[in-house]
Structure 1
Amino acid sequence: MAAHAAMQAGQRDDGPVADVAAARDSVVIHVLIVGDPRELGTDSRGSGRWAVPAEVIDIAADGMLIRSATRILLTGGEGWGQVVTGQEVRTAGKLKPAKPGQVEAGVLVAATPPMRPDSQRKPDTQNKPDTQNKPEARHPTQGPADIPHGPAQLKRQFSSAAEWLQGDAAGLLPGMVTGDTAGLDESLETAMKTTGTTHLTAVSGANCSLILGGLVLLARSFRLARGVAAIVALGGLAAFVMMVGPDASVLRAAVMGAIGLTALSSGRQGRSLGFLCLAVTGLLTLDPSLGTSVGFLLSVLATLGIVLLARPIASWAPSWVPSWLASAVAVPLAAQLLCSPVIVALQPQFSSYSLLTNIAVAPFVAPVTILGTIAVPLVPLLPWLAIVPIAVAGASAGMVAAIARFFAGLPGASLPWPEGPAGIATMSLWSVGTVLLVWLVLHPTRVVSAVLWLHGRLVLLIAAGESSLRRRWTR
């Protein structure tokens, strides 16, 4: 993977797009949007600024037309917050070199809103003079780009359909189902950060695991064979991915969710670990930039924790504890133990009630995800029928918000933690200590036996030392 990434980096840094960026020329560019816009803040006039990942289709610069499938980063104001993955747009601006370490070949500061590409228009060469040497004439901007129907339209329709819900549910439900957090209240967002539940407001591996698990149970209820049920579940997961938008983060979540569910249901740790290694290698081959993504790292670590630790921790529970309750505690604990050192490196604070909050909200996450996902395609097709799943999912989302606010308001919900390598090292030790503490608490009989055994060995050691000292004194 390192060799593959190095080869791609060499092609990116030495390619024609990098040469244009180094010259800092003004260009007219035709791109394909490959990711969601990320808000950068506001400019001097108070307008929003956005960063949008894109892939170059062609660039008109200095009288030349350059075609290259190279990643760049677009930054702009008006209109750039509404573009969606898979949309082709044209704009003009100044192309600058990317910063060291960026996966993009350059950064374009857009001087215009996103425009419709005019590639379908055929010039009238009989009545018009030849303008092939003028890039602006060959590629004029035709007007604001249309927002395509599909995932983006479904997200907007679902968010609009959930507006009748009261309180936090109206903003949280679209975030938990489709990842649309535009309507999320700032105070609730802060509470979820404090309690370590922000992963619920993105399409994560947990969402995909719930979708897969629900489809498998539904298929098995019709007495379908296990292989057929697996195919049905995977087909449903693919439909879910297409519905919310098949960008890199969603595809990553789908793969990790499928592996996590396989690890929990099959009980074959070695096979699940092999699937995880294969998935990581495959995803990095398709997109080496995931190697610098913190979200990808957290997904891999969370899945690794579930594969390695979830079943052993659940098996430590006493026989009188229901298996579903043991798993409800073991899964978030296993994921949190491996993710905590990375989270502390990003945000040096300790979320005291993160585990308790994730356990408390777990019963409400499944209804939100499954019923909300059912409601998304019903909203444009049968809006009257979508009211019932939206109401139930909204009530569950309201409970998630209430639990997050409750735990965030408790004393000591967010405690300071050392920064840098010291913080990572201490949190790693804390994770190991937590596993040992959980084992000790859940095995009181074995702990007492071990303590008595150690006590007996210590008594024998003291007696032997005392006897040795007496012999020396008598001599």
Structure 2
Amino acid sequence: MAVMTWSAALMGCFSDAVWSVVLAGALGLLGGVLLVVGHRQRPSGLRPRTLFATLALACVLGAAVAVHCAVIAGNREKGPLAPAMAADDGIVIHILITGSPAPAPAPGHSSDGRWTVDASLIDLTSNGRVVRGTADIVVTGGAAWQNVRAGQSVRTTGTLKQVREGQPEAALLSASSAPVVTDSGFDARQTAADVRKRFVSAADWLPPDAAGLLPGMVTGDTSALPESLETAMQTTGMTHLTAVSGANCSLILGGFILLARCFRLPRPAAGIFAACGLFAFVMMVGPDPSVLRAAVMGAVGLAALTGGLRGRSLTFLCLATTILLLLDPAMAANVGFLLSILATLGIVLLAARIASWIPDWVPRWLAAGIAVPLSAQLLCGPVIVALQPQFTTFALIANVVAGPLVAPVTIFGTIAVALATALPWLAVVPIAVAGTCAGMVAGVARLFSGLPGAALAWAEGPVGIAAMVLSSVVTLLAVWMALHPADVKRRVMGLHGVVATRLDALLATREQGTTKHGRLESCKETSGRNHLWLLPKTPGPRASRRTPSVGGMRHRPPSS
């Protein structure tokens, strides 16, 4: 189901409304046909009815995603913003700020003094005509836009432009004037932004690396992150630690469940308590795609545990992916969401198996610490080189060393966020603990990024992606061979025996059963030899040979 919904979402994001409707109709028709065929099919071991029902449900969900994409495309093509975009004239627009300002990256990888923020349309005036409607837009403007807050209603002027394909917004507003606030309303997202800023201020007494990295690892605020440290994290493949990810959500959810068990809450109450805590954490850090994936996946698992059901992590991942794509099909084209799904999929499918390959004398926590980043990087590698064509040589060892430090940073940092709002003087201790661990993470990044060959050039485009896929497969095979030498020897010898037997049969067939130069055969396992080279016998009778004993021949004395 997840694969079907993702495919439909990708096709819908890069298609117009008409083709999205056609896709929805085709998937709906296919789902109906599968349902009818499954109903008429007799149950059997090869093609059970549940298979057809599952395929039909996947087609129906894909059709629903395609319909959602058609609505988004129709709003972009014929919505309230379409005439203004077609005219390409200056407009006066009234919008509601729905996000937090962020620097707008320029081609030179610097913000160039411009900022971007998400907003929602209230009304606009174009050529003396006032248009009211609902549409999501992205605003880019000068330095004055960094001071707007979520929940504010502002009025400005600018020009509407088309967004890139795959973006969920209806238009891009290039603001030509500073925003004029018309209403400062209350918004929970602005409250969360204030909490994040307060935490950044509370941690500014730490060393520069710790003060910049700690807010990013706990709340997702990377405004104080030094540029040199950000480069070091990219070189060592640790950029996922500079922001909140699914691992943080898992730790927070586990902490709330443990706290509920300490108070001996019943299962339903514990589930509600943990869900509320997870929701508050997501609101604080913001709805990042990887955070939403982890939150929905955790909520699905929490609902299953509350109901007394046990499921598999792969099932929870597929359900979370399907739900998020139904709500927002544009996530299918989001690279962060794709990396989050691939990393989780690699951990679910490979981590436990790789950990079981490691010898028993290695501690289990160390085996898990090696298996988890390795399994995640094996699946994320092709996507990463497509974005940044370079090979991070020390990514695995750097993540293994820094992995144990993530949990104390997340736990003590989250406690410090709550205390920094209510009791700032009491937040010093958890900030010190979390900041020390964050500083150690930064030290690991700087250490390995400074080693020779930390970042090697990699091929770009499809060639680089294919090479990384092959490299991931070879790496997995090499790890298995290194940890299973006995199995490798047994399989090689077995393959050798099979090849020798097949060659012998082939030679025997070609020579029509006659053998003049010997043949290669497999001996019995009890012979103590691997193979035996059998020489042909002499066709004539062979004369008997007797070897005299030491000292010459001795005649037996005649019997008396």
Task: State the one-letter code of the partner of 1:89.
Answer: V
Q: CA deviation at 1:239?
A: 1.3
The one of 126, 137, 141 aligned to 1:76: 141
- Which of 294, 309, 324 is matched with 2:350 structurally? 309
Structure 1's 220 and 35: CA in aligned 2 closer, same or farther, altered over 3 A?
Answer: same
Assess, with a 3 A threshold, how the Cα gap between structure 1 residues 181 and 321 changes in structure 2: closer, same or farther: same
Query: Are 2:216 and 1:190 equivalent residues in the alignment?
Result: no
1:347 and 2:411 correspond: no
Residue in 1 that maps onto 2:130:
65
Matched, 1:32 2:73: no
1:336 is displaced (CA, Å) by 1.2
- The 8 Å contact of residues 85 and 245 in structure 1, kept in 2 or not, is answered as no
Task: Give the deviation of 1:101 after TM superposition.
Answer: 4.8
Alignment counterpart, residue 370 of structure 1, candidates 408, 411, 415: 411
- Contact 1:90–1:116 (Cα < 8 Å) also in 2: yes
Letter paired with 2:157: A
Q: Aligned pair in 2 of structure 1 residues 257, 186: CA closer, same or farther (>3 Å)?
A: farther
Q: Does residue 230 of structure 2 align to residue 202 of structure 1?
A: no
Residues 337-371 of structure 1 show CA distances to partners (whole Å, capped at 9, x for unaligned) of 11111111011111111111111101111111111
Deviations 1:158-177 (A, max 9, x none): 11111111231011111111
d(CA) in 2 for partners of 1:330, 1:261:
25
Q: For the structure 1 residues 100 and 459, does the alpha-carbon distance in structure 2 shift closer, same or farther, using more than 3 Å as the test? A: closer
1:255-274 to 2 correspondences below 5 Å: 255-256=296-297, 271-274=312-315
TM-score (norm 1): 0.85
SS at match of 2:116: strand
2:338 corresponds to which residue? 297
The Cα of 1:448 is off from its aligned counterpart by 2.4
Report the CA distance between 1:391 and its aligned residue.
0.1
2:26: which partner in 1? none
Counterparts in 2 of 1:366 and 1:474: CA distance versus 1, 3 Å: closer
Q: 345-354 or 448-457, which moves further after superposition?
A: 448-457
Q: 2: distance between equivalents of 1:473 and 1:306? A: 56
Change (3 A) 1:361 1:85: farther
> Which segment drifts farther, 242-251 or 276-285?
242-251
**In structure 2, what residue type is equivalent to 1:105?**
A
Normalised by the length of structure 2, the TM-score is 0.73
| Pair 298,194 (structure 1): closer, same or farther in 2 beyond 3 Å | same
Is 2:131 aligned against 1:97? no
Indicate yes or no: 2:176 matched with 1:111.
yes
Q: 1:331 aligns with which of 348, 361, 372?
A: 372
The aligned residue for residue 71 of structure 2 is: 7
1:438-457 residue pairs with structure 2 within 5 A?
438-457=479-498
Residue pairs, 1:378-457, within 5 angstroms? 378-457=419-498
Aligned match of 1:140: none
TM-aligned CA distance change 1:253 to 1:81, over 3 Å: farther
Q: Tell me the amino acid that sits aligned with residue 113 of structure 1.
A: A
Task: Quote the residue 1:174 is aligned against.
Answer: 215
CA distance in 2, matches of 1:337, 1:41: 29
Once the 2 structures are TM-superposed, how far is the Cα of residue 186 of structure 1 from its aligned partner? Answer: 1.1
CA distance in 1, matches of 2:216, 2:353: 32
Shift of 1:269: 11
CA distance in 2, matches of 1:157, 1:55: 27
In structure 2, the partner of 1:244 is: 285
- Distance, in Å, in 2 between the alignment partners of 1:348 and 1:99 is 23
SS state at 1:150 partner: helix
Larger radius of gyration: 2
RMSD across aligned positions (CA): 3.1
Which of the residues 98, 116, 119 maps onto 1:51? 116
- Structure 1 residue runs of 5 or longer lacking an equivalent are 121-144
2:267 and 2:396 mapped to 1: Cα distance? 34
User: For the Cα contact (< 8 Å) 1:74–1:108, is it kept in 2?
Assistant: yes
% identical equivalent positions: 59
Amino acid aligned to 1:437:
A
Residue aligning to 1:320: 361
Counterparts of 2:242 and 2:145, CA distance in 1: 22
Q: How far apart are residue 321 of structure 1 and its match? A: 3.0
Cα gap change, 1:318 to 1:228, in 2 (>3 Å): farther
Which stretch of structure 1 is more off in the superposition, 16-25 or 79-88? 79-88
* Cα distance between partner residues in 1 of 2:280 and 2:166: 35
Any idea what the Cα deviations from partners look like across 1:201-229, whole Å, max 9, x if unmatched? 11211111111122223333444455544
For the 8 Å contact 1:84–1:147, the answer to whether it is kept is no
Of residues 67, 81, 85, the one that matches 1:17 is 81
**Alignment partners' CA distance in 1, 2:299 and 2:346:** 14
Superimposed CA distance per residue, residues 132-159 of structure 1 (whole angstroms, 9 cap, x where no aligned partner): xxxxxxxxxxxxx999851111111111
8 Å Cα contact 1:256/1:303 also seen in 2: no
- 1:435 positional shift: 1.7
2:297, 2:317 within 8 Å by CA — same for their partners in 1? yes
Task: Tell me, yes or no, if the aligned pair for 2:151 and 2:190 is still in contact at 8 Å.
Answer: no
- Post-superposition shift, 1:285? 2.1
- Report deviation, 1:328: 1.7
Aligned length: 445
Amino acid at match of 1:160: S
